[in-house]
Amino acid sequence: MLRYALKVEYDGSPFAGWQRQADHPSVQGAIEAALSKLEPGEHTIAAAGRTDAGVHGWGQVAHCDLQKDWDPFRLSEALNFHLKPDPVAIVDCARVSEDFHARFSATERHYVFRLLSRRAPLTFGAGQFWRVNHALDAKAMKAGAKHLLGQHDFTTFRSTQCQADSPVKTLDRLDVTEIQHSTGSEYQFDVRARSFLHNQVRSFVGTLERVGAGAWAPDDVAKALDAKDRAACGPVSPPQGLYLAQVIYPDDPFQK
């Protein structure tokens, strides 16, 4: 068997998440079905991260094992043909060694959350942002985000359904950038770490939105973190603004 790394882009709106499910559409299921059109039989792919329902991917990475010695470009083209009309695209493909693993070989994951402040409902971009109808203070959100950097017990920002062995994680980056549009203000949250707890990024954003709205002070984020109590977390943001933007490996499999 030969191993291939796939860089995957997808709109998570119509899917019940990345992970294959028996009775609901999934991104994993769509790609595995496309693979079965190329090499008949069952296929199981592994991904860098299992995104939830409604979460999108700009740079998700998965790997698959195939019998045929495919040219990577032809493999990506063939998969994209069979993935239609699902909103899933293989944007890059590479042959990798047998010891490459999309999840376990990764050293960092980069998520982006897009929050839009505007009164009017969205026509273009619906399902691609979290829209709020009130003003936000980017400076206050940046101040609150600083309390989350570094290694902490993130129990407060962890879903009660999280299956991770430990709530201790190291957050490498949490930047807040304001982008002015003609119809509103976009706030992008760039979040980087080796790995994340379930709903951790969405919990961060929901809490920082409360800071930006003035309902919380920036230092209240530190108090919530120190509480190590899920009840101390702000509201969890909806999934539609979240994107798995990039996965980092010691040796980038897609580097030409």
Please identify every residue annotated as catalytic: 52
In terms of DSSP bridges, do strands 56-66 and 2-10 run parallel, antiparallel, or are they unpaired?
antiparallel
Residues in the chain: 256
Residues 60 and 140 reside in one and the same domain: no
Q: What pLDDT does 158 receive?
A: 96
CA dist., res. 251 & res. 97, Å (int):
11
Question: pLDDT of 159-207, one tens digit each?
Answer: 998 989 999 999 999 999 999 988 899 999 999 999 999 999 999 999 9
The mean pLDDT value for 126-140 works out to 96
Domain end position, chosen among 105, 127, 156: 105
pLDDT at residue 256 above 80? Answer: no
Residues 163 and 134 reside in one and the same domain: yes
Q: How many domains does the chain have?
A: 2
Domain end position, chosen among 49, 81, 105: 105
- Contact yes or no for 32/45 (Cβ under 8 A): yes
Residues 154 and 115 reside in one and the same domain: yes
Residue 35: CB atoms within 10 A of its CB come to 24
The mean pLDDT value for 222-229 works out to 98
Q: How far is CA 242 from CA 9, 13, 189, 191, in A?
A: 13, 11, 9, 11
Residues 142 and 224 reside in one and the same domain: yes
Quick one: tokens of 255? 């580097």
**Which residues, other chains included, contact 154 with Cβ-Cβ below 8 Å and sequence gap of 6+?**
167, 168, 169, 171, 197, 200, 225
Question: pLDDT of 71-107, one tens digit each?
Answer: 999 999 999 999 999 999 999 999 999 999 999 999 9
- Contact yes or no for 211/218 (Cβ under 8 A): yes
Residues 139 and 94 reside in one and the same domain: no
Residues 144 and 92 reside in one and the same domain: no
Burial class (CB in 10 A: 0-12, 13-18, 19+), 254: middle
229: containing domain: 108-245
Question: pLDDT of 13-59, one tens digit each?
Answer: 999 999 999 899 999 999 999 999 999 999 999 999 999 999 999 99
Residues 134 and 8 reside in one and the same domain: no
Residues 202 and 123 reside in one and the same domain: yes
Q: What pLDDT does 183 receive?
A: 83
DSSP helix/strand/coil, 197:
coil
pLDDT at residue 8 above 80? Answer: yes
255 belongs to a structural domain = no
Residues 96 and 135 reside in one and the same domain: no
251 belongs to a structural domain = no
Q: What pLDDT does 172 receive?
A: 98
- Contact yes or no for 216/122 (Cβ under 8 A): no
Residues 114 and 99 reside in one and the same domain: no
- For residue 169, give the amino acid letter: K
- For residue 203, give the amino acid letter: S
DSSP helix/strand/coil, 78:
helix
The mean pLDDT value for 203-224 works out to 98
Residues 87 and 28 reside in one and the same domain: yes
